């Protein structure tokens, strides 16, 4: 009898032990799932969807060796690489304290950015990104179908982690006006209000270049073909600083088109396709003065551009090197930088 009771006791203890072990294992697995934000294999990620509660959303998709945004535009390589690194390396720093729980949950519900990550077209991870922590080194996040938010950070990164997930189209689009291989360029049209300085630069073949008047007529005097080659080589790649806000695009474009342009640059490729950049002065809103104490009428650091119908902010250090005038191909001296050409108030 005693042996039977002892055996029952041993069995009971074992069962209780197994039950406790199962409870903790299941609970641990559950907690691990609730904390598992990172996606280790970013090479197989082919789509990322970002959206906020205000209706802004972008879809990033891998297409061969580059990424697109919303299926229409080339995405910024640096931004995509930053996001992929964050997706791979983010880790839980700490759970959200009880004292902050209500505020963080409300913030996630109202302002959280939804993140969907796909590997080989299969949805593998969904979570929401909230605001930044008080020390600016972490962000509040919560996995879908979870009721427990965490503070997440990226080892080696100090700053506002949430900016990597912003669902704004203008943030993700590549900021390039022209991007050509020289051998694909057929001709470049450059027009100024002073038509006498306007011209057409043609690439006829390898190391063979020509210069024409803007109306297409021939120039009947010697010009420097090496300078024509230099100009075409410079203009093949031109970037810009940023797009202006979508809400201001139409108004600003209409306003600029009523003013006198600074210069117009049009590249025609070998297929006949054209891409055009128009440039316009920007008011001197920062109140910059020249060395003599005269205020500049216009901004000497930045200018407006219209690229295929969209208004952008350009920088003079990018525009000045491609600002050639027709007369520059006949002499030794290049014109003064376009930013200082008639920019001072009388």
Both tokens of 48, joined, read 């990322």
User: How big is the CA angle at 223 (ends 221 and 228), to the nearest 5 degrees?
Assistant: 145
Read off the pLDDT of residues 65-109 as tens digits, 9 standing for 90 and up.
899 999 999 999 999 999 999 999 999 999 998 899 999 999 999
Which pTM does this prediction carry?
Answer: 0.74
Model confidence at 267, pLDDT cuts 50, 70, 90, reads very high
Model confidence at 23, pLDDT cuts 50, 70, 90, reads very low
CATH fold label, 42-172: Dna Ligase; domain 1 (3.30.1490)
Q: Ramachandran region of residue 248, left (φ > 0), alpha (ψ -120 to 50) or beta?
A: alpha
Please provide the average confidence, as pLDDT, over all residues in the chain.
87
**Worst-scoring range by mean pLDDT, 96-110, 140-154, 281-295?**
281-295
pLDDT, position 26: 45
Torsion sign (Cα): 203, 204, 206, 211: negative
Q: Residue 8: pLDDT above 70?
A: no
pLDDT, position 286: 76
Tokens 């108004």 locate to: 251
In angstroms, the CA 261 to CA 279 distance is: 6
Q: Residue 20: pLDDT above 60?
A: no
End-to-end alpha carbon distance in the chain: 115
In angstroms, the CA 325 to CA 27 distance is: 73
Percent of the chain with pLDDT over 90: 68
Domain layout of the chain by residue ranges: 42-172, 176-340
- Beta-carbon contacts of residue 82 (< 8 Å; ≥ 6 apart): 164
- What are the phi and psi torsion angles at 80 (to 5°)? -65, -45
Q: Residue 291: pLDDT above 80?
A: no
| DSSP symbols for 128-167 | EEEEE-TTSS-EEEEETT-S--EEEE-TT--S-GGGGG--
- Name the residue among 176, 174, 175, 172 with its Cα closest to residue 57: 172
**Worst-scoring range by mean pLDDT, 108-112, 131-135, 173-177, 237-241?**
131-135
Both tokens of 26, joined, read 């299941």
Q: What is the mean pLDDT of residues 223-239?
A: 95
User: How big is the CA angle at 40 (ends 61 and 22), to the nearest 5 degrees?
Assistant: 125
Contact 138, 153 (CB under 8 A): yes
Distances (CA, A) of 180 to 57, 232, 297, 338: 30, 10, 34, 23
pLDDT, position 137: 81
pLDDT, position 343: 45
pLDDT, position 120: 94
Q: What is the mean pLDDT of residues 131-160?
A: 90
Q: What is the mean pLDDT of residues 179-202?
A: 95
**Worst-scoring range by mean pLDDT, 18-27, 121-130, 325-334?**
18-27
- Beta-carbon contacts of residue 40 (< 8 Å; ≥ 6 apart): 88
Q: Residue 22: pLDDT above 50?
A: no
Contact 186, 177 (CB under 8 A): no
In angstroms, the CA 64 to CA 281 distance is: 39
Collapsing DSSP to helix, strand or coil, 56 comes out as: coil
- What are the phi and psi torsion angles at 186 (to 5°)? -95, -45
Read off the pLDDT of residues 307-339 as tens digits, 9 standing for 90 and up.
989 999 999 999 999 999 999 999 765 565 565
Model confidence at 159, pLDDT cuts 50, 70, 90, reads confident
């Amino acid at each position: 009898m005693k042996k039977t009771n002892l055996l029952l006791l041993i069995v009971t203890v074992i069962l209780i032990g197994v039950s406790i072990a199962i409870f903790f294992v299941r609970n641990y697995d559950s907690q691990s799932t609730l904390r598992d934000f990172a996606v280790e294999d970013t090479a197989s990620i082919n789509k990322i969807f970002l959206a906020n509660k205000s209706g802004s959303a972008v879809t990033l998709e891998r297409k061969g060796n580059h990424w697109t945004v919303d299926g229409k535009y080339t995405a910024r390589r640096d931004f995509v690489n930053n996001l992929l690194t964050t997706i791979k390396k983010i880790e839980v720093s700490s759970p959200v304290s009880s004292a902050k729980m209500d505020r963080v949950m409300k913030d996630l519900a109202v302002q959280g950015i939804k993140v969907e990550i796909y590997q080989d077209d299969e949805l593998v991870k969904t979570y929401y990104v909230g605001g930044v922590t008080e020390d600016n080194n972490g962000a509040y996040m919560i996995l879908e179908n979870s009721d427990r938010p965490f503070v997440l950070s990226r080892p080696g990164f100090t700053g506002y982690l949430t900016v990597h997930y912003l669902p704004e189209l203008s943030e993700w689009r590549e900021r390039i006006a022209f991007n050509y291989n020289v051998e694909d360029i057929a001709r470049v049209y450059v027009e100024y209000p002073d038509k006498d300085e306007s011209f057409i630069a043609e690439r006829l073949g390898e190391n063979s270049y020509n210069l024409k008047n803007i109306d297409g007529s021939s120039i009947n005097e010697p010009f420097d073909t090496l300078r024509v080659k230099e100009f075409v080589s410079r203009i093949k790649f031109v970037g810009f600083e940023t797009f202006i806000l979508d809400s201001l695009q139409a108004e600003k474009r209409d306003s600029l088109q009523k003013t006198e342009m600074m210069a117009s640059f049009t590249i025609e490729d070998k297929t006949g396709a054209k891409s055009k950049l128009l440039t316009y002065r920007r008011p001197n809103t920062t109140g910059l003065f020249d060395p003599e104490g005269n205020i500049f009428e216009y901004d000497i650091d930045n200018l407006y551009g219209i690229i295929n119908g969209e208004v952008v902010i350009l920088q003079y250090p990018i525009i000045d090197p491609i600002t050639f005038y027709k007369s520059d191909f006949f002499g030794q001296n290049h014109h003064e930088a376009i930013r200082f050409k008639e920019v001072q108030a009388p």
